[in-house]
């Protein structure tokens, strides 16, 4: 299946992916509205920055997803390889945060957790990939 | 005022026809006149002409110069030049018949010549080169004189007018040759000038051509590096020079010439066997500026044969036919059927594939 | 092939999903002594609190059994396993045959003998849906709730009733709360947080005797209550296994495919023992993720698969009144801890490995630590400077990152 | 001193309503124009540092930024332009030579834009490149003067090594050092995919790029940086750089700050030292000396590689080219005065040399007049900006073109002409690792391939329009061009007629 892959050699640490992710998940029609309003959407992608190296991390959509297996509420499910969260079931216990080996389950002040759904329901192409200026994250089939 | 040939580039559409008897049997000129007349609508009256091979058996070892003069002054100057360089065995006006559609005719003279041995030796040139340079010299340097035919045992007859009228004017029924080519002209950028009519000839090479080549200036600027001077700015002229250059200066055969001027596509070359590929690659690379693109169908006449060739995309019509020892080529089938209703075989040659016909018996070009 | 599963909770569901990955046709029968569609036990406090509706307490969608072609026998209690006949005898005397059997009987609350307990009318344990329903039936605004046990269940019960009543007292024999998952500092932080919400704690004390409505503690303190919740601990349901002669220690003994000492009988979940890689010991790890993972491996093994589960560690993610904490592994070793306002983190190293951690407040990306413990990645292979600061992929070597973030076979 | 203050040339305009303070501009500007002020929670910009490279504008996700030219003006003066005045102030302050980069930006006539291309109508059909073969493959190098065969038809006359180009476009010489390794990798990979060539420039060939040797032209310049036998053998052709259009008559200077470990090894000079290419080759003081170097290089490579001699287009270019053609060079490359550079003295860049169009026309005609045009191929560069320029160049007589600036544009260059500052925000003209990584060769090479393919496609469309289906029939076909707004003299030099004639 197509997944988002990171090539840290090309990540500039510009954080655009974060902003595109937030925007994509904000439900707003315009990026300015998504950020200059009262509520800001937490990005589902995390940038790690080092001295010479940067990279973005988001849900790997594991073949053996520990988050899904450990979910106490049956809120995380896999459909065609894509792991999604059902907001109405999540109780915010964070067992998935405990389980995810990549640290890709994101929490904010809201009750439920947030995670990357590959923008499947919105554009078909992950917004982070589309917004990356240097192809440091790509959406492709590998292996 | 319209510029004439030599002052501006002249594109033109046209009709061509030609035939050859493989066994060298001589055929009356009225046949070729009849053939070309069937393509009347492919001409516009601004030029017609013919080339006949094997027509001067009595002077077969002499160069036959056909010359247009605008006035007697140019004739005198030319004749002085000829006397200086050649032994003039015979000279006369070319016999013509008054024709209501042929007007403004220049003085039309014919000379049977051979180079003066002393002059030839002094020039350190080969005989043919000596003759060719002499022709070019007259044409460039002597105002009002134009040599339009200069081969042995062959002759070009051309004028402003429809080709069938030109044929009558020159009384071609009185000539017989083993090969004939004809041309009806449809130029779009000339008032019509006798010298500009086809065939275009140098030595025994004659070209009749239908088309408008788009590679003209690339071709011209290349051959002009090698002593040619394109004075008429016509396609026919440059094609003739290219053929002369490749055949006479590089000793290349008609087949090879076809591979250069209508070169195979690179994609085709890639598929050839190694040896052929090497040759084709070298030809295209070495003579890249002699590739002729744009539409053309030509009939090249030369001593002992004819070659017909289409551009490699076949952007102009051309059909060929065989009947016994005759081979016919024309822009349209009607022109063949007119003189040979029942053919053995008729076909449309592919673009870039030459039809080369030479006389049997190693070319008894005199047909006796 | 006839699969039979005793139990209808996490391990059982894991097993069904495991079996169906390999075998989509054979019959699966599920026995449950409860009468509910499979539901999530940890959700009962949320249900009681009203955060989870009647529909959402279910662990899997309503069409789960039909979609997975399961024959479910609800309200049927298994009383005996007849290994020689290959069948399980139910309370009503009927028998259900199996080719492969999974024991997923879970655990039950431990209620010690306490004087006068039988006189208490509103006394509850807090493990099943029915427990929560029973509490809800009597819970009124201003009910005085007494909870015996300051562990995970007790405190979740406290949170569960909190919406209705703030009058909550928690008593525990230990000197601190959540002793099974937190260290002293951590316990203090959480206790303080709960106390700011109004929960009262009486620690290092225990109920000596009860009358209906009053508990007398060993210290002599008398506590009035309307509702008593006993959350002292749990015991594995191993009787079916031991009675039919399977090897049982504290829990049922299983191998890495969850097979018991009988090749056609498997066991998974809270009723079994697992190997804790953080301490190197066998122990009962009564945790929902562990139950699922064991159930799934058991299901796969029953259907002929070879996947093993051997990276279990104790771990917990839980929150009380908005304060989140995630813990894992063992705290025996060299600890570094950082405490900032509202946040606490402790990382324990031993023998060149990360053995355990506690994160309270900021729990972001804790799973990276969890994986380091489970995968037993040597500390020298990690960026030691970054290790203590926060969990991140940058801790790993470039080649490992490449494998994890750019490679294939993700998550295996 | 107040006189040393220059009002910034450009101003950063930020639309505060659109700005979401994502700070991409802060992170991406190597000139540190943008900052985020924590105290006031606002974005600020230092206009004085802005070079108008458009990096921030391009990356701003909400399109909140634009750069405008300042409207601060000196008193108007048609003679003393503001730029000249400022330059005088600068030099009065520093005493130094002014430096610039990329090509001459002054408003001299662009002859490409004064020539129009022909198309067929009626008498001669145009050719549809989608239906008919349309050939742009070409060979560069000396052609045999004669051809002979033995009895079996095998070729017996000598032939010469030629470069085969699928498309008559090559990437100009740009050294590793002046541009980044990722830029070089992009060029190399694109050249390989396109079946064309890129050029090492005078910086040697990085060890990682020997694998692209079959599509590499290795350059030998006056500094001889990175030249050794293996290097010469690695390339498909060797180019002797005699001059560069952007700075005819002078050498080059790569500051030591750009000579890091890799550049040092590739150029074979100590790390951190300035790499100075002398103005002349000190072993070439005459045409005879050039012949010696040409044949030395041919000897060294067993006569298997064509040798290119690259010169700047200067006044006497036709005679110089003729001399080169008779010195054994297989290809002459001529670089016009608009050609780019990583750094050049401003006055030289803007005032020395002649337009490539005129140089090309003069050289092609001169070589034909001497009958030696088929002995050499002619490649031109120095501001070939589009496929139309290529068609015109070939019709004037070029065999192929070099593109440099256009290739860099494909890689993201915005022609801010600040290469000499070495802080290229697009990761091209820089060696700073954090900036170099901004040019991902995976993207870069594809963009180059796209650009060249697009241009090739357009060249084919125009050829088809002219009724020409092979590039060699366009070469030197000046009838296909007409001048517009040109003087008789200009038309004469270009060898073309005026539109309407």
In total, how many domains does chain C have? 3
Q: In a mutagenesis test of the A interface, which of C406, C410, C412 is the best target, namely the one with the most A β-carbons within 10 Å?
A: C410
Nearest of C393, D8, B363, B334 to residue A102 by alpha carbon? C393
pLDDT reported for residue D117: 97
Interchain contact D22–A (C-beta under 8 A): yes
Please indicate, yes or no, whether residues D146 and D72 belong to a single structural domain of this protein: no
Please indicate, yes or no, whether residues C293 and C375 belong to a single structural domain of this protein: no
A20: confidence class by pLDDT, cuts 50, 70, 90: very high
D303: confidence class by pLDDT, cuts 50, 70, 90: very high
Residue D467, domain member (yes or no): yes
Which chain B residues are within 8 Å of D133, Cβ to Cβ? 265, 267, 313
B295 with D467: Cβ contact below 8 A: yes
Q: A124 CB contacts (<8 Å, ≥6 apart)?
A: none
**CATH number of the structural domain spanning residue A96:** 3.30.70.20
Chains that touch D (3 or more CB pairs under 8 A): A, B
Which chain D residues are within 8 Å of B221, Cβ to Cβ? 368, 397, 476-478
Please indicate, yes or no, whether residues A109 and A140 belong to a single structural domain of this protein: no
CA dihedral B242, B246, B252, B254 (to 10 degrees): 10
C51 with A72: Cβ contact below 8 A: no
Backbone angles phi, psi at C275, to 5 degrees: -95, 120
Domain end call among D96, D129, D150: D96
Please indicate, yes or no, whether residues C102 and C239 belong to a single structural domain of this protein: yes
Interchain contact A1–D (C-beta under 8 A): no
A12 with D437: Cβ contact below 8 A: yes
Please indicate, yes or no, whether residues A111 and A133 belong to a single structural domain of this protein: no
Helix axes C129-138, C152-162, angle to 10 degrees: 40
Distance, first Cα to last Cα, chain B: 50
DSSP H or E run through C157: helix C152-162
> Strand, helix or coil at C238?
coil
DSSP H or E run through D35: strand D34-37
d(CA A31, CA A28): 7
A122: confidence class by pLDDT, cuts 50, 70, 90: confident
The predicted model gives A25-51 an average pLDDT of 89
pLDDT reported for residue C56: 94
B188 with D469: Cβ contact below 8 A: no
Q: Which domain holds residue A76?
A: 61-115
Please indicate, yes or no, whether residues A10 and A54 belong to a single structural domain of this protein: yes
Please indicate, yes or no, whether residues C103 and C242 belong to a single structural domain of this protein: yes
User: CB-based burial of residue C140 (10 Å sphere; 0-12 exposed, 13-18 middle, 19+ buried)?
Assistant: exposed
| Residue in D18, D59, D443 nearest the CB of A16 | D59
Q: A114 CB contacts (<8 Å, ≥6 apart)?
A: A25, A42, A44, A85, A105, A106, A107, A108
d(CA D381, CA D408): 14
Please indicate, yes or no, whether residues A37 and A66 belong to a single structural domain of this protein: no
In total, how many domains does chain D have? 2
CA dihedral C392, C395, C397, C403 (to 10 degrees): -20
Please indicate, yes or no, whether residues A109 and A137 belong to a single structural domain of this protein: no
Please indicate, yes or no, whether residues D65 and D170 belong to a single structural domain of this protein: no
User: CB-based burial of residue C181 (10 Å sphere; 0-12 exposed, 13-18 middle, 19+ buried)?
Assistant: buried
**CATH number of the structural domain spanning residue A5:** 3.30.70
Please indicate, yes or no, whether residues D156 and D262 belong to a single structural domain of this protein: yes
A107 with C368: Cβ contact below 8 A: no
pLDDT reported for residue B43: 86
Chains that touch A (3 or more CB pairs under 8 A): C, D
In total, how many domains does chain A have? 2
Residues of chain B with pLDDT under 70: 1-6, 9-13, 188-191, 362-368
**CATH number of the structural domain spanning residue D88:** 3.30.70.20
Please indicate, yes or no, whether residues C247 and C286 belong to a single structural domain of this protein: yes
The predicted model gives D2-24 an average pLDDT of 92
Please indicate, yes or no, whether residues C86 and C130 belong to a single structural domain of this protein: no
Domain end call among C200, C232, C264: C232
Q: A30 CB contacts (<8 Å, ≥6 apart)?
A: none
pLDDT reported for residue B7: 72
pLDDT reported for residue C408: 47
The answer to whether B129 touches B228, Cβ cutoff 8 Å, is no
| Residue in D21, D23, D438 nearest the CB of A134 | D438
Q: D487 CB contacts (<8 Å, ≥6 apart)?
A: none
Nearest of B125, B144, B148, B124 to residue B135 by alpha carbon? B148
Q: Is the pLDDT of residue D462 over 50?
A: yes
Task: Look up residue C409 and give its two tokens.
Answer: 């076979």
Residue of A nearest to D22 (CA): A19
pLDDT reported for residue B13: 65
pLDDT reported for residue C407: 58
Residue of A nearest to D29 (CA): A14
The answer to whether D384 touches D393, Cβ cutoff 8 Å, is yes
Please indicate, yes or no, whether residues A23 and A52 belong to a single structural domain of this protein: yes
The answer to whether D451 touches D412, Cβ cutoff 8 Å, is no
Please indicate, yes or no, whether residues A66 and A54 belong to a single structural domain of this protein: no
What fold characterizes domain B12-213+297-358? 3.60.20
Q: Is B14 a catalytic residue?
A: yes
User: CB-based burial of residue D37 (10 Å sphere; 0-12 exposed, 13-18 middle, 19+ buried)?
Assistant: exposed
The answer to whether B200 touches B193, Cβ cutoff 8 Å, is no
Which chain D residues are within 8 Å of A130, Cβ to Cβ? none
Residue D112, domain member (yes or no): no
Helix axes C288-302, C10-22, angle to 10 degrees: 30
Please indicate, yes or no, whether residues C137 and C70 belong to a single structural domain of this protein: no
Domain end call among C214, C232, C250: C232
Vertex C342 angle, CA C340 and C345, to 5° = 55
Cis bond upstream, residue B196 (ω within 30): no
Task: Look up residue D100 and give its two tokens.
Answer: 């610039």
D466: confidence class by pLDDT, cuts 50, 70, 90: very high
- What percent of chain D has pLDDT above 70? 100
Please indicate, yes or no, whether residues D252 and D399 belong to a single structural domain of this protein: yes
d(CA B237, CA B219): 11
A19 with D20: Cβ contact below 8 A: yes
Q: Which domain holds residue D189?
A: 138-498
d(CA B308, CA B300): 6
The answer to whether C45 touches A72, Cβ cutoff 8 Å, is no
d(CA D489, CA B271): 48
Task: Residue count of chain A, please give it.
Answer: 143
d(CA C264, CA C84): 11
Task: Look up residue D454 and give its two tokens.
Answer: 């697009």
pLDDT reported for residue B11: 61
Residue of D nearest to B14 (CA): D123
pLDDT reported for residue B364: 41
Domain end call among D64, D96, D128: D96
pLDDT reported for residue C410: 44
pLDDT reported for residue C86: 95
Task: Look up residue B197 and give its two tokens.
Answer: 């009519």
C398 with A61: Cβ contact below 8 A: no
Q: Which domain holds residue C195?
A: 117-232
Please indicate, yes or no, whether residues A71 and A106 belong to a single structural domain of this protein: yes
Please indicate, yes or no, whether residues C228 and C144 belong to a single structural domain of this protein: yes
pLDDT reported for residue B365: 38
Residue D101, domain member (yes or no): no
Please indicate, yes or no, whether residues C20 and C97 belong to a single structural domain of this protein: yes
pLDDT reported for residue A83: 96
> Strand, helix or coil at D353?
coil
d(CA A14, CA B254): 68
Q: B250 CB contacts (<8 Å, ≥6 apart)?
A: D146, D147
Residue that has been written with the tokens 């002052």 in this structure:
B7
Please indicate, yes or no, whether residues D303 and D190 belong to a single structural domain of this protein: yes
Please indicate, yes or no, whether residues A102 and A135 belong to a single structural domain of this protein: no
- Using DSSP bridges, classify how beta strands C315-320 and C323-329 pair: parallel, antiparallel or unpaired: antiparallel
Please indicate, yes or no, whether residues A90 and A110 belong to a single structural domain of this protein: yes
Q: Give average pLDDT by consecutive 10-residue segment, chain C, 412 residues.
A: 96 97 96 96 96 94 96 96 96 95 96 92 95 96 95 96 95 95 95 96 94 92 96 95 96 96 96 93 93 97 94 94 95 91 92 96 95 94 89 91 68 43
Please indicate, yes or no, whether residues D212 and D92 belong to a single structural domain of this protein: no
> Strand, helix or coil at C334?
strand
Which chain D residues are within 8 Å of B288, Cβ to Cβ? 138-139, 143, 472, 475
**CATH number of the structural domain spanning residue C220:** 3.50.50.60
d(CA D136, CA D195): 12
Please indicate, yes or no, whether residues A43 and A14 belong to a single structural domain of this protein: yes
Closest Cα of chain A to C280: distance in Å? 20
Closest Cα of chain C to A76: distance in Å? 11
D257: confidence class by pLDDT, cuts 50, 70, 90: confident
């Amino acid at each position: 299946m197509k997944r988002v892959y990171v090539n840290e050699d090309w990540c500039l640490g510009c954080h655009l992916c974060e902003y595109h992710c937030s925007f994509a998940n904000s439900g707003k029609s315009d990026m300015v509205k998504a950020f200059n309003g009262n509520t800001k959407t937490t990005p589902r992608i995390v940038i790690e920055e080092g001295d010479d190296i940067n990279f973005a991390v988001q849900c790997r959509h594991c073949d053996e997803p520990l988050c899904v297996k450990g979910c106490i509420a049956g809120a995380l499910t896999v459909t065609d390889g894509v792991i999604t969260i059902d907001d109405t079931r999540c109780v915010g216990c964070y067992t998935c945060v405990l389980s995810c080996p990549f640290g890709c389950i994101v929490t904010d002040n809201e009750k439920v957790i947030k995670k990357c759904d590959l923008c499947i329901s919105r554009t078909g192409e992950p917004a982070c990939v589309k917004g990356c200026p240097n192809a440091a994250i790509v959406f492709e089939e590998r292996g | 005022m319209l510029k004439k040939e030599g002052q501006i580039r002249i594109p033109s559409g046209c009709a061509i026809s030609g035939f050859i008897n493989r066994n060298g049997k001589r055929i009356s000129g009225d046949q070729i006149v009849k053939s070309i007349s069937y393509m009347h609508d492919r001409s516009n009256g601004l030029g017609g002409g013919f080339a006949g091979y094997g027509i001067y058996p009595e002077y077969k070892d002499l160069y036959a110069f056909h010359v247009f003069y605008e006035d007697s002054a140019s004739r005198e100057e030319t004749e002085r030049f000829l006397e200086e360089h050649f032994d003039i065995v015979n000279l006369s006006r070319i016999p013509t018949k008054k024709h209501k559609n042929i007007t403004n005719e220049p003085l039309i003279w014919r000379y049977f010549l051979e180079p003066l041995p002393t002059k030839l030796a002094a020039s350190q040139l080969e005989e043919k080169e000596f003759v060719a340079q002499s022709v070019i010299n007259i044409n460039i340097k002597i105002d009002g004189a134009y040599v339009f035919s200069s081969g042995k045992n062959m002759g070009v007859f051309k004028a402003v007018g429809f080709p069938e009228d030109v044929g009558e004017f020159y009384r071609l029924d009185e000539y017989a040759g083993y090969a004939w080519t004809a041309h009806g002209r449809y130029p779009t950028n000339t008032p019509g000038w006798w010298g500009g009519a086809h065939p275009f000839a140098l030595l025994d090479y004659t070209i009749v051509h239908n088309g408008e080549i788009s590679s003209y200036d690339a071709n011209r600027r290349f051959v002009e590096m090698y002593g040619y001077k394109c004075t008429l700015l016509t396609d026919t002229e440059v094609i003739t020079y290219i053929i002369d250059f490749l055949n006479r200066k590089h000793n290349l055969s008609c087949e090879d010439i076809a591979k250069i001027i209508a070169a195979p596509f690179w994609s085709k070359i890639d598929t050839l066997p190694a040896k052929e590929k090497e040759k084709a690659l070298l030809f295209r690379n070495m003579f890249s500026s002699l590739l002729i693109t744009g539409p053309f169908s030509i009939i090249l006449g030369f001593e002992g044969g004819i070659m017909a060739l289409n551009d490699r995309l076949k952007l102009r019509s051309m059909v060929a036919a065989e009947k016994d020892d005759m081979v016919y080529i024309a822009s349209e089938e009607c022109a063949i059927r007119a003189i040979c209703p029942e053919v053995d075989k008729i076909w449309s040659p592919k673009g870039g594939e030459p039809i080369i016909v030479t006389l049997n018996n190693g070319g008894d070009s005199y047909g006796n | 092939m006839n699969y039979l599963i005793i139990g209808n909770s996490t391990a059982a569901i894991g097993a069904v999903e495991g079996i169906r990955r390999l075998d989509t046709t054979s019959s699966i029968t599920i026995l449950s002594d409860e009468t509910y569609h499979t539901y999530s036990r940890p959700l009962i406090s949320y249900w009681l609190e009203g955060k989870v509706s009647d529909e959402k307490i279910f662990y899997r969608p309503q069409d789960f059994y039909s979609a997975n072609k399961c024959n479910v026998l609800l309200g049927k209690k298994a009383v005996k396993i007849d290994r020689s006949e290959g069948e399980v005898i139910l309370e009503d005397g009927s028998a259900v045959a199996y080719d492969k059997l999974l024991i997923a009987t879970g655990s039950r609350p431990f209620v010690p003998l306490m004087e006068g307990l039988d006189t208490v009318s509103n006394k509850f344990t807090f493990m099943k849906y029915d427990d929560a329903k029973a509490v809800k039936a009597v819970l009124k605004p201003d009910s005085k709730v007494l909870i015996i046990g300051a562990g995970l269940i007790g405190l979740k019960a406290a949170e569960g009733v909190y919406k209705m009543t703030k009058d909550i007292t928690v008593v525990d024999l230990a000197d601190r709360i959540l002793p099974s998952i937190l260290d002293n500092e951590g316990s203090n932080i959480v206790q303080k947080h709960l106390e700011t919400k109004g929960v009262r704690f009486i620690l290092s004390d225990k109920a000596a005797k009860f009358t209906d409505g009053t508990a007398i503690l060993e210290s002599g303190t008398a506590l009035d209550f309307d509702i008593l919740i006993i959350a002292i601990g749990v015991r594995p349901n191993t009787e079916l296994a031991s009675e039919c002669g399977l090897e049982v220690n504290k829990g049922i003994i299983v191998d890495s495919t969850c097979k018991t000492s009988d090749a056609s009988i498997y066991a998974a979940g809270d009723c079994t023992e697992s190997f804790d890689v953080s301490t190197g010991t066998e122990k009962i790890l009564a945790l929902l993720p562990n139950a699922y993972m064991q159930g799934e491996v058991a299901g796969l093994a029953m259907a002929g698969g070879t996947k093993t589960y051997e990276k279990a560690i104790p771990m917990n993610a839980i929150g009380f009144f908005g304060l989140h904490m995630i813990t894992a592994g063992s705290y025996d070793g060299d600890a570094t801890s950082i405490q900032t306002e509202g946040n606490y983190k402790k990382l324990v190293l031993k023998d060149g490995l990360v053995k355990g951690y506690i994160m309270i407040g900021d729990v972001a990306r804790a799973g990276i630590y969890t994986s380091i413990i489970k995968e037993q990645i040597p500390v020298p292979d990690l960026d030691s400077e970054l290790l203590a600061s926060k969990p991140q992929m940058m801790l790993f070597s470039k080649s490992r990152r490449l494998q994890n973030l750019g490679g294939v076979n993700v998550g295996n | 001193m107040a006189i040393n203050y220059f009002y910034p040339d450009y101003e950063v305009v930020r639309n505060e309503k659109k700005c979401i303070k994502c700070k991409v501009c802060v992170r991406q500007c190597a000139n540190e124009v943008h900052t985020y002020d924590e105290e006031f929670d606002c974005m600020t910009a230092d206009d004085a540092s802005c070079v108008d490279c458009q990096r921030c504008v391009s990356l701003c996700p909400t399109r909140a930024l634009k750069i405008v030219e300042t409207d601060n003006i000196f008193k108007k003066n048609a003679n003393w332009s503001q730029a000249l005045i400022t330059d005088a102030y600068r030099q009065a302050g520093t005493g130094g030579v002014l430096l610039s980069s990329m090509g001459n930006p002054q408003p001299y006539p662009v002859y490409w834009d004064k020539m129009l291309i022909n198309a067929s109508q009626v008498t001669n059909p145009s050719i549809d490149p989608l239906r008919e073969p349309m050939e742009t493959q070409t060979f560069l190098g000396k052609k045999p003067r004669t051809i002979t065969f033995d009895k079996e038809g095998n070729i017996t006359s000598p032939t010469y090594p030629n470069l085969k180009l699928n498309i008559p476009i090559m990437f100009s010489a740009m050294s590793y050092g002046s541009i980044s390794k990722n830029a070089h990798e992009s060029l190399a990979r694109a050249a390989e995919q396109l079946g064309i060539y890129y050029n090492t420039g005078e910086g040697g060939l990085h060890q990682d790029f020997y694998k692209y040797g079959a599509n590499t032209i290795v350059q030998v310049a006056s500094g001889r940086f990175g030249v050794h036998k293996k290097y010469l053998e690695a390339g498909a052709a060797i180019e002797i750089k005699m001059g560069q259009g952007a700075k005819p008559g002078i050498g080059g200077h790569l500051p030591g700050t750009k000579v890091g470990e890799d550049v040092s090894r590739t150029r074979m000079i100590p790390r951190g030292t300035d790499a100075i290419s002398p103005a002349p080759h000190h072993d070439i003081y005459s045409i005879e000396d050039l012949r010696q170097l040409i044949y030395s290089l041919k000897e060294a490579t067993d006569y298997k590689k064509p040798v290119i001699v690259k010169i700047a287009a200067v006044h006497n270019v036709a005679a110089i080219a003729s001399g080169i053609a008779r010195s054994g060079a297989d290809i002459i490359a001529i670089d016009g005065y608009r050609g780019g550079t990583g750094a050049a003295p401003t006055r030289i860049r803007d005032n020395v040399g002649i337009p490539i169009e005129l140089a090309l026309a003069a050289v092609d005609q001169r070589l034909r007049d001497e009958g030696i045009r088929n002995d050499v191929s002619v490649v031109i560069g120095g501001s070939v900006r589009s496929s139309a320029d290529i068609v015109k160049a070939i019709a004037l007589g070029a065999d192929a073109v070099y593109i440099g600036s256009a290739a860099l544009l494909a890689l993201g260059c915005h022609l801010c002409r600040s290469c000499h500052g070495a802080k290229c925000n697009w990761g091209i003209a820089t060696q700073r690792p954090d900036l170099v990584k901004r040019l991902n060769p995976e993207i870069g090479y594809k963009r180059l391939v796209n650009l060249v393919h697009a241009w090739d496609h357009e060249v084919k469309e125009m050829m088809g329009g002219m009724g020409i289906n092979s590039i060699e029939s366009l070469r030197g076909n000046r009838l296909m061009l007409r001048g517009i707004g040109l003087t008789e003299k200009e038309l004469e030099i270009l060898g073309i007629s005026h539109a309407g004639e």
